[in-house]
Chain A
Amino acid sequence: MAEEAAAVHIGRIAKQWGKKRGSLIMMLHAIQDQRGYVPRDAALELARQVDVPLARIYEVLTFYNYFKTSSPGKAVVSVCTGTACHLKGAPDILAALGEELGVADGEASEDGNFHLQSVRCVGCCGLAPVVTVNATVYGKVKPAEMRGIIGQWQDRIDAGEL
Chain B
Amino acid sequence: MAKVTINGIEVHAEDGQTILDAARLAQVRIPTLCKHPDLPPTASCGVCVVKIAGQRGMVRACTTPVRDGMEIITQDPEIADVRRTVVKLILSNHPNACLTCGRNGTCELQALASEFGIRRETFPNIVADLPRDPSTGAIELEPAKCIKCGRCVMVCQTNQDVWALSFLDRGIDTRISAAGDIQLAESPCIRCGQCSAHCPTGAIFEYSQTEQVWDMLMDPEVHCIAQIAPAVRVSIGEAFGYDPGTNLTSKLYAALRRLGFAAIFDTNFGADVTIMEEATEFARRLENGKGPMPLITTCCPSWVDFMEKFHSDMIRYFSSCKSPHAILGTLAKTYYAEQVGLDRDKIRMVSIMPCTSKKYEIIRSDEMFASGSQDVDIAITTRELTRMIQQAGIELANLPAEQADNPLGEYSGAGTIFGTTGGVMEAALRSAYYFINGKELDDVDFKQVRGLDGVREAEVDIDGRTIRLAVAHGLANVEYVLNNIRATAEAGDEPAYHLVEVMACPGGCIGGGGQSWGVTDEIRQKRIDGLHGDDLAHTIRRSHQNPAVQRLYDDFIGKPMGDRAHQLLHTSYTARPEYRR
In the assembled complex, which residues on chain B have CB atoms less than 8 Å from the CB atom of A62? 168-170, 181
Indicate which residue in B165, B181, B187 contacts A69 across the interface (CB closer than 8 Å): B181
What per-residue 1/0 map shows which CB atoms of A36-65 lie under 8 Å from chain B? 000010011000000001111111001100
Give the complex CA separation of A21 and B18 in angstroms: 30
In the assembled complex, which residues on chain A have CB atoms less than 8 Å from the CB atom of B169? 62-63
Give the complex CA separation of A63 and B166 in angstroms: 12
Is B63 engaged at the interface, CB distance under 8 Å to the other chain? no
- Residue of B whose beta carbon sits closest to that of A48: B578
What per-residue 1/0 map shows which CB atoms of B179-204 lie under 8 Å from chain A? 11100000110000000000000000
- B166 near A58: Cβ-Cβ < 8 Å: yes
Interface residues of B (CB under 8 A from A): 157, 163-170, 179-181, 187-188, 579, 581
- Residue of A whose beta carbon sits closest to that of B170: A63
- B180 near A55: Cβ-Cβ < 8 Å: yes
In the assembled complex, which residues on chain B have CB atoms less than 8 Å from the CB atom of A40? 180, 581
Give the complex CA separation of A63 and B157 in angstroms: 18
- A53 near B163: Cβ-Cβ < 8 Å: yes
- Residue of A whose beta carbon sits closest to that of B177: A58
Apart from the given pairs A55-B180, A62-B169, 18 other A-B contacts in the complex at a CB distance below 8 Å: A40-B581, A44-B180, A44-B579, A53-B163, A53-B179, A54-B163, A54-B179, A54-B180, A55-B164, A55-B165, A55-B187, A56-B163, A56-B166, A58-B166, A58-B168, A58-B181, A62-B168, A63-B170
Give the complex CA separation of A56 and B157 in angstroms: 9
Interface class of chain A by DSSP: helix
In the assembled complex, which residues on chain B have CB atoms less than 8 Å from the CB atom of A69? 181
Give the complex CA separation of A38 and B72 in angstroms: 50
Given contacts A43-B180, A53-B179, contact A59 B168 (CB under 8 A): yes
In the assembled complex, which residues on chain B have CB atoms less than 8 Å from the CB atom of A63? 169-170
Give the complex CA separation of A53 and B162 in angstroms: 9
- Residue of A whose beta carbon sits closest to that of B163: A53
Give the complex CA separation of A63 and B181 in angstroms: 13
CB distance from A40 to the nearest CB of B (A): 7
Give the complex CA separation of A44 and B169 in angstroms: 19
- Residue of B whose beta carbon sits closest to that of A69: B181
What per-residue 1/0 map shows which CB atoms of A1-41 lie under 8 Å from chain B? 00000000000000000000000000000000000000010
In the assembled complex, which residues on chain B have CB atoms less than 8 Å from the CB atom of A56? 163, 166
In the assembled complex, which residues on chain B have CB atoms less than 8 Å from the CB atom of A58? 166, 168, 179-181
CB distance from A121 to the nearest CB of B (A): 18
In the assembled complex, which residues on chain A have CB atoms less than 8 Å from the CB atom of B166? 55-56, 58-59
Give the complex CA separation of A58 and B165 in angstroms: 11
Given contacts A44-B579, A63-B170, contact A55 B181 (CB under 8 A): no
CB distance from A57 to the nearest CB of B (A): 7
CB distance from B118 to the nearest CB of A (A): 32
- B168 near A54: Cβ-Cβ < 8 Å: no
In the assembled complex, which residues on chain B have CB atoms less than 8 Å from the CB atom of A57? 180
> 21 A-B pairs, CB-CB below 8 angstroms?
A40-B180, A43-B180, A44-B180, A53-B157, A53-B188, A54-B179, A54-B180, A54-B579, A55-B157, A55-B164, A55-B165, A55-B180, A55-B187, A56-B163, A56-B166, A58-B168, A58-B181, A59-B166, A59-B167, A59-B168, A69-B181
In the assembled complex, which residues on chain A have CB atoms less than 8 Å from the CB atom of B579? 44, 54
Give the complex CA separation of A44 and B182 in angstroms: 13
In the assembled complex, which residues on chain A have CB atoms less than 8 Å from the CB atom of B164? 55
What per-residue 1/0 map shows which CB atoms of A57-93 lie under 8 Å from chain B? 1110011000001000000000000000000000000
In the assembled complex, which residues on chain B have CB atoms less than 8 Å from the CB atom of A55? 157, 163-166, 179-180, 187
Give the complex CA separation of A40 and B188 in angstroms: 15
CB distance from B576 to the nearest CB of A (A): 15
Give the complex CA separation of A119 and B163 in angstroms: 31
Give the complex CA separation of A75 and B169 in angstroms: 24
Give the complex CA separation of A41 and B579 in angstroms: 11
- Residue of A whose beta carbon sits closest to that of B178: A55
Give the complex CA separation of A62 and B179 in angstroms: 11
CB distance from B112 to the nearest CB of A (A): 28
CB distance from A72 to the nearest CB of B (A): 17
Give the complex CA separation of A88 and B179 in angstroms: 40
In the assembled complex, which residues on chain B have CB atoms less than 8 Å from the CB atom of A54? 163, 179-180, 579
CB distance from B504 to the nearest CB of A (A): 17
Q: Which among B157, B166, B581 has the highest number of chain A CB atoms within 10 Å?
A: B166
- Residue of B whose beta carbon sits closest to that of A40: B180
CB distance from B79 to the nearest CB of A (A): 33
- Residue of B whose beta carbon sits closest to that of A57: B180
Give the complex CA separation of A131 and B209 in angstroms: 54
CB distance from A62 to the nearest CB of B (A): 4
Q: Which among B165, B169, B188 has the highest number of chain A CB atoms within 10 Å?
A: B169
In the assembled complex, which residues on chain A have CB atoms less than 8 Å from the CB atom of B165? 55
Give the complex CA separation of A22 and B180 in angstroms: 19
- Residue of A whose beta carbon sits closest to that of B164: A55
Give the complex CA separation of A44 and B170 in angstroms: 22
CB distance from A80 to the nearest CB of B (A): 20
CB distance from B476 to the nearest CB of A (A): 13
Task: List which A74-116 residues lie within 8 A (CB) of chain B.
Answer: none
In the assembled complex, which residues on chain B have CB atoms less than 8 Å from the CB atom of A44? 180, 579
Give the complex CA separation of A44 and B188 in angstroms: 12
